[in-house]
Structure formats: C-alpha cells, structure tokens
Structure 1
Amino acid sequence: MKQVIVSKFGGTSMGDAQCMLRSAEVAFKQDSCVVVVSATSGTTNDLIALGKTAEKQSWKEAEILLTKIRDRHLKIAEDLKLNPTSSAELRNLFDEMESLAKGINLLKDCSVKAMDTLQSLGERMSSVLCTEAMNTVLRNNKSSKQAVLFDVRDVLRTDDAFSKARPITAEVERLCTEKLSFVKQGKHVAVTQGFIGKTADGMTTTLGRGGSDYSAAILAEGIHADILEIWTDVAGIATTDPRICPKAKPIAEISFTETSELATFGAKVLHPATLLPAMRKNIPVFVGSSFDAEARGTWVRREVKDHPLIRAMAMRKKQILVTISTPEMLHAHGFLFQIFKVFNDHKVSIDAITTSEISVSVTLDDSTLMNTKLIEDLSKFADVQVEENLCLISLIGNNINHTAGLAKQIFDKIGNINVRMICLGASKHNFCFLVNEDQAVETIQRLHAGFIENH
C-alpha cells in the first residue's frame, strides 16, 4: 500500500525559482502527498517590518517594503512562467497586503491580529509559486499527478491566541478527514502553507516563529501520515552546530525524546513543538537537505538502536537568570505555588530551575525583561535579582542522571569556565548549566572535543 508522506520545505528551500524547482523535484522523488512550504527566505521578516513601518512611519517608507516583497515574488513568478490563474491569485495577495498595510498606516495601530494576517501572506504567496514549480516537475517527469493549491486554514483550526496560536487537535483531525483525504487517492499533490491557521470564526492566526515545522507535523497527524519529512538547508541533525565545531558529526538516527530536548535547548534544526504530533501518532520524522537530497540525513524515531551517553549538545543564547529569595520560604509551604502562579499569569515559560532553602533560581529568555510587570509582581513578596548575558549549555544523551562520574568529566573539560547554575536529575536525557555568553562557544568546543570528537 502506498505510503502517505508529508514533506515540509523551509524558507531557504523556497529562496528562488531554482530552489523551488529543486524542492519540487525532491517532493516528486519522495512521492509526497502533501507539500508544506514556508515563506520565501527573508519574507516573514520583511512583512513584520512592513507592519511596524506602516504603524510608526509614513506611507512612503512602507511602500518601499511593499515594492521589495512584490518584486521578489514577481521575479520568481517570471522565472517559473507562472500561469494566468496563479498570476491573478498572486496579485490578489499583493492587493491584500497593500490594503492591510494601508489600514495599519491609517489607524497607526498594528494589532497582533493584524500582524498575523499580514505575516500569513508570506506562506500564501510562496505556496502559489511552489504549486507552479511542482506542476512543472510533474510534467517534466511525465507524471499523471497534478499539484493543487490547498489553503491550510481550511483544516488547521486553532484557538484565538494570535501570534502563538495553539491547534485544536480533534478539530484538525476531523477537518483533515473531511477536506484533505483526497491526497491518499494518488492523483493529486496538495501544496499548502506552514505556520498559519484559522479560528472557528474565520480569523487568520500564526503558530509563532518556526511554526512551519509544527504545522507540518499537525497535518501529518491529521491525515494519519506514515512519514513526516522536514527539508531544510542542512543535511540532518548534527552532534552540535557545525559553524561552531567543524568536526560536528551527522547523526543517522535519534530518538523522539533526545530530539525534543535538543530542540528545546537551542538546536535550530527543528521547532521544539514539532515532534509532539509525530510522537502522539508514532510517525517517523526524516530531516534532510533539499540542496543535497542524496545525503544521509537523520531519522527521528520512538525506538533507536544505539543509546550513547552523550549524543549531542546545544546552546541557548540570550538567557537570563532570575533568583527569587526570601527568608519566609524557609520551611514554609505554598511559596513555590506563589512563584509559579506569577509566571503562569504572565504566560512565561521557564527553561531550568534550581532551589535552595530560601531562594529559587530560574532561567528565562532575555525577551522576558520586556515584561516589567512580571518582575514587579515577583518583587511584591520576595527579593528579585536578575543576571543577564548568559547561555544555557545542554548535553543530550541517555541515562545521564544514573551515570557515575559524568559531572566530574564535564567540569574537568571546561576547567576555568565559571558555571552559574546546574540543572540535573529531572531528565535522564539532559544535563544543562549556565555560563557567561562570551564563554559559550568555547564551552561547547571543549565538550564536543572531549565527548564526541575523541570517541
């Protein structure tokens, strides 16, 4: 029986007409049923800039960005010889973009709802172009299949938390069965958008930056796919960032749990939430490069053959350490509840935590400092100290919390580098600690050399 494959292509894979045709060729060879695309490289940033410029500055300055975005997509359309119907669709999207920007400029207000609709245009434009590229490749390969443009918002139902919307899984599955199951018949390839969804009352939402991987996984879950493929500009997952450690090694196979830890703690290959839908339905995930499709790539599975002590390592920059202290915490109950309630009320996620008799230290992204009310609310019942310019270093592997002498090996290797906080024990797959940001690269290089390059 034919496998149902969902293939997602990132922004660099959509960079220009050549990239789109190359990606379409990959999708054809993989016999993909659904192709999920990101906005063309750089477009999402330009759309965000357009919204902010239209809100704060003159229309003339906003027009410069409008022209830049239009010209980028018209060049790709010209190179792909876009058909008249798709050309009209693309121009409709240009008109929508201009109307939105004019409305923002007139009102001098760019709400998160307006920004979500504006950002959605990136994926909606690239999917029109990629559908043409896909049909070109199908014709060139004398395939009887046809690529069809599919609006993901028809199936990806979300709540109304604009800019970081959450999918409503049961609704997505119902809608996929109703509207997307035609791809299993083998006559069509659906080309659709990542990153975006729609509320029950028809408002466009986005899943947050990097959400294209996540939405591809949600679609894979919704149509009960056999395989989810994530095609990017790197050939799979490596033991660490090759730009930091040139001797970083490709990983052929890695578990869902290890990959989740890696993504959460700084690895850029996958969005942290991507694996949740795949894990729920036990869908294997392949990560490869659309620029080198013959390269080995990485398979992410529930069960893997090898379980090394240290599989990979990652770093998460721009971290702050918030220490909340009060003598009232000594032998008192309810104090942690108070702290976590404040974080919950402000919808702030904590990465790592340690506690002592009278204090609690947590790591957060430095963007949290923009939320001055959070610090104010914590300060109402405790002394709050904030340390900036830190980096969270994570070693990912197996049986970490039951391996004697591992901590000694780690700290022997980083010697004179000061460690600000250690978090160990909550997961058998992760050992993480904080260092100053200016020592983060050296820390990773030393650890990678000691645990991976020399083994």
Structure 2
Amino acid sequence: MTRLVVAKFGGSAIGPNGSFIPKIIQRVNELKKDSKVITVFSAPLTIHNGKKRSLTDIILEQGDNAKNGIKPTLEVVKSAYQKILEIVNSENRENCENEIKNHLEKAQKALDDAFESKEFADEVRSRALAFSGEILMSHVMNHILRSNGIKSDAVNFEDWPIITDNNIEFTNFLTAESRERMDKTAELVEKNEVVTIGGFIGKTVDNITTTYERGGSDRTAADLGILFHKKYQTSVDFEKDSSVVSADPKIVESELREVNQLSYNEARLAGMFGMKILDPIAIKEIVENGVDMPITITNMKNPGKITTIKRELEKQKGHPIKIVTGKENCAIFRIETNSVQKLLTSLEKDKRYSEFVILSPFTKDGIEFSRILFLDGEYVKRNEKYLLGFDPLATITYNRGVITLIGDEMWRVQQVASRTSAKIGESGLNILNMDAQEETSRIIIVVEDADDNIRKAIKAIHQEISDINFI
C-alpha cells in the first residue's frame, strides 16, 4: 500500500512573513521521498508594531473595528503576503499574485459586510479568516513548492473535503459527508507529489464557510488522515519547533526529559491540560472513527528528534510519569447527581464538547453532588444559561487552576500522590481539591488561579518526579 503523510505546518513553523519557509521546503522534500504528502497550513505570522502576531489575530482585530464602525483594512495582511511572495520564482509569481489578490478581495468583502451590518460573526467571520489566512496560505505555498521543482497542487475551496455541521464558529467534523466530497482531493493526491490545503476551515453541506476553534488546523490534519487511511498507509506529522518534553519549556527551564512515545490517551490528556502538543479533539476524532494510525511530533530544526503517538505503545522503559502540566482559567460546576447524566449527554450529543473531566462526587445533607471540572472557564461563562438549565441550583466556581501528571502507567510510581501534594504544600500553595483515581491512572490537583500559582506548582512537581521511585 502506498504511504501517505499528512504534514501540518502551523504559524510558528511558517515563521514571521514566511521566514522559515525554506525549512518547510526541505522537510517536504524529505517526506516525499517515500510517501505521498498532504500539507496542511495555518495562517502565517507577521511583525506588527514590533510584535510577532498571527494574521488570524490581525483579521479578528479588523473585524472588531468593522463591528464598531471603524473602516476595516487589509494593509498589514497584504504587506505580509508581499514579503512571502518574494520566495516565489518568476515563472510562478504572476499566478501567485493573482491568488493573493483574488483571495484578499473575498476577505475584504467579508469585512465590508461586517462594517455594513455592524456584526462580525458566523459566516462573515469565517469567510474573512479563511480567505486571508489558511486557504490563501495553502495556495501561496503551492506556488512556492512549484518554484522549488516539486509537483504540487492546491485544494480549491469549491472542492473542499472537510464537511462540518452548522455550528459556524465552533464547528464539528462530519465523516460520512466528508467522504462523499473527497474525490477531487483524492484525485489531486493521486496525480501529485504534494497537495496543499488550509487548516482550520470547513464548509457545510450547503457550502457555508465554517471554522474550528483556535488550533483547529490540527483537527484538519487528523480529519484528512481519517478520510485517507483506508486508501493509503497513512500517518500524521505535526512539524513544530521541538518534539515533546516533560513540561512546558517556558515554565520549566532545566532537567527536562525528552518524551519518545505517548499513547493516544496520554497525548489527549496532555493537550486538554495545557501542553501544546496537538489539539486534543484531533485525537478524540481519530478514536471515535475507529482509526489507528501513527502520529509524530517532529522537531523541524532537528528532524531526528521525534515523539511518536500511538493507540497502543510498546513496553515502556522510562519513567512512567511522562509529563507534568497545568491549565489556568478553569471552572468547577457542581450539580445534583440525579441531574448530571442529562447534562453529560447533551454536552456530547448537542454541543459535541468534551473539554472537561468528572471529579469524584461528594454528599451534603444526604444529597449526592457531582462535580465537573471545565478546562475552559470562558466556555462556561458563554454557556452559563445552558448549563444552569439542567439544575437552576447548581453552582459554578471560577478562577480555578489545575495541575496534572500524565502517564498511563502511573500506578507503578510509589507514593506519587503523597509526594506531589507535599511538594505543592512546600511551595506555599493551598490545595483546594485533589482527585486521584487508580482506575484512570490520573491525579488532578486544583488550586486557586492567582498570580503564578500554576507555574510554581508545575515547577515543584516536575523537580520532585525524578526522585520518586517506580516499579
């Protein structure tokens, strides 16, 4: 069976104004030696007012301007693409210039619509983002690849294979409908060495433009893997500035351990709890579709450094605790247990939302209460009315932070719960809740989200881990 690699390049991999594109070309040339390649691109970065910024943020800012009666402009976006255009050779430059012009006209039309209606939401927002960012970047990269002698083509939005539901701004992948629309993309893969496509963007069966949540390009890569895994020996590769290490290097600066392997479960939990490995919903969609394909996190600067993510791992030799991570801006929702199942069913079926964990229940005045730890406090704030509709007497506590340890075989670590909780106490932090479950090999520690509490706790626990014995 022919091999296929779906390789995702995020904004940081592209670099400000395309500064890292030569490295992308090098990586694509390496990947295509023994595989067909689908490349998934995020919106590029630029330098604006002396700061590194994503074009996504620039467009969202212009959309807010439009909503508030300030005429929106694409000058910063145009300037970024003009710099990237310098990488395109003379043979492909005119076509690339036309692609930039045509796509930015569509983005400007969406912003103008927002200016007239004083609303920047739903499809208007999605069109503005799509045609200024991910979709346009995939077409520009197609011309850059061709300029470097690579046989490539880009997926046109008319032939888009990522079909989603009608949740416009926080959309969900529809597998069956996408399979019905993937023929054109499959044809491009068959005829070319490399195919380029924009991440983050979908469309409904009625051709309405939709977007995933931020980080959604990871989901696009996973979704394409799901669509093609039966036809090709498929793997998904996330190209980043480092492979996975045992904590966020911006928090823990020394004694970091390289993580060579993660299970799907470990990777998903790490993503949910703050590690920028990949969007945890990407893993969820792979599992829900019954697909078993390897995922790699590759250090673009040193491609020999790779973290492999699999459904089932080989026998582990290293420390069972692989990652210490944490998440700020969480919320705890307390609800009577006899009402919780309806809420959980609705979150799964109606909202298709899963960024939460169930904590141990408690009993008060003879009534059992369940606790749901939501890992995104802003989501809870946006949906308070919906959540309280299942129990008007339920309570919500905001400003909570959570620290967790990642490792499917954590049960092999001696005194892990007592040692980690003691270390947090020594750091001067008050543990508000500690939830340890042998069955899920999971430890969750909740503290107040104030000052640098989460960072202090992660540092303290990470330092302690290497001194704890394991079987």
Quick check: TM above 0.5? Answer: yes
Deviation per CA, 1:101-128, whole angstroms, max 9, x where unpaired? 1111011122322111111121012112
2:277 is aligned to 269
- In 2, the alpha carbon distance for the partners of 1:301 and 1:342 equals 30
The SS at the match of 1:351 is strand
- In 1, the alpha carbon distance for the partners of 2:414 and 2:95 equals 65
Deviation per CA, 1:182-222, whole angstroms, max 9, x where unpaired? 35546431111111111111111112111101111111121
- Please report the RMSD computed on the Cα atoms of aligned residues, expressed in angstroms: 2.6
2:5 is aligned to 5
- In 2, the alpha carbon distance for the partners of 1:420 and 1:342 equals 28
Please, what TM-score do these two structures have when normalized by structure 2? 0.84
The SS at the match of 1:114 is helix
CA pair 270-198 structure 1, distance change in 2 beyond 3 A: same
Per-residue deviation, 1:339: 5.6
CA pair 87-342 structure 1, distance change in 2 beyond 3 A: closer
2:322 is aligned to 311
- In 2, the alpha carbon distance for the partners of 1:379 and 1:256 equals 34
Asked whether the equivalents of residues 171 and 213 of structure 2 are also in contact (C-alpha less than 8 Å), the reply is yes
Is structure 2 residue 58 aligned with structure 1 residue 46? yes
- In 1, the alpha carbon distance for the partners of 2:26 and 2:371 equals 50
Q: How does 1:413-424 map to 2 (within 5 A)?
A: 413-416=423-426, 417-424=429-436
Deviation per CA, 1:372-393, whole angstroms, max 9, x where unpaired? 424754673x262x43322111
Please, what TM-score do these two structures have when normalized by structure 1? 0.87
Asked whether the equivalents of residues 353 and 361 of structure 1 are also in contact (C-alpha less than 8 Å), the reply is yes
Deviation per CA, 1:52-88, whole angstroms, max 9, x where unpaired? 21111321xx22xx11111111221134345212211
Paired residue type of 2:306: G
- In 1, the alpha carbon distance for the partners of 2:223 and 2:350 equals 27
1:200 is aligned to 205
CA pair 24-97 structure 1, distance change in 2 beyond 3 A: same
Asked whether the equivalents of residues 41 and 197 of structure 2 are also in contact (C-alpha less than 8 Å), the reply is yes
1:231 is aligned to 239
- In 2, the alpha carbon distance for the partners of 1:252 and 1:167 equals 30
1:142 is aligned to none
- In 2, the alpha carbon distance for the partners of 1:439 and 1:346 equals 35
2:225 corresponds, among 210, 217, 220, to 220
Structure 2 unaligned segments of length 5 or more: list them: 46-53
- In 2, the alpha carbon distance for the partners of 1:250 and 1:161 equals 38
Higher helix fraction (1 or 2): 1
- In 1, the alpha carbon distance for the partners of 2:105 and 2:453 equals 48
Asked whether the equivalents of residues 230 and 287 of structure 1 are also in contact (C-alpha less than 8 Å), the reply is yes
CA pair 166-390 structure 1, distance change in 2 beyond 3 A: same
2:442 is aligned to 430
- In 2, the alpha carbon distance for the partners of 1:429 and 1:310 equals 10
- In 2, the alpha carbon distance for the partners of 1:48 and 1:351 equals 31
CA pair 410-7 structure 1, distance change in 2 beyond 3 A: same
1:449 is aligned to 463
Is structure 2 residue 410 aligned with structure 1 residue 409? no
Deviation per CA, 1:211-245, whole angstroms, max 9, x where unpaired? 10111111112112422111122x21111101111
Structure 1 unaligned segments of length 5 or more: list them: 140-144
Asked whether the equivalents of residues 287 and 298 of structure 1 are also in contact (C-alpha less than 8 Å), the reply is yes
- In 2, the alpha carbon distance for the partners of 1:377 and 1:445 equals 39
1:164 is aligned to 170
Per-residue deviation, 1:269: 1.8
Asked whether the equivalents of residues 194 and 213 of structure 1 are also in contact (C-alpha less than 8 Å), the reply is yes
Asked whether the equivalents of residues 255 and 301 of structure 1 are also in contact (C-alpha less than 8 Å), the reply is yes
Asked whether the equivalents of residues 168 and 210 of structure 2 are also in contact (C-alpha less than 8 Å), the reply is yes
Q: How does 1:8-407 map to 2 (within 5 A)?
A: 8-15=8-15, 16-31=17-32, 32-41=36-45, 42-59=54-71, 62-63=72-73, 66-81=74-89, 83-121=93-131, 122-137=133-148, 139=149, 145-151=150-156, 154-176=160-182, 178-182=183-187, 185=190, 187-224=192-229, 225=232, 226-233=234-241, 235-246=242-253, 247-279=255-287, 280-290=290-300, 292-307=301-316, 308-324=319-335, 334-337=338-341, 340=344, 347=351, 349=354, 350-358=356-364, 359-364=369-374, 365-367=376-378, 368-374=380-386, 377=389, 380=392, 382=393, 384=395, 386-400=396-410, 405-407=415-417
Per-residue deviation, 1:361: 3.0
The SS at the match of 2:8 is strand
CA pair 396-77 structure 1, distance change in 2 beyond 3 A: same
- In 1, the alpha carbon distance for the partners of 2:350 and 2:284 equals 24
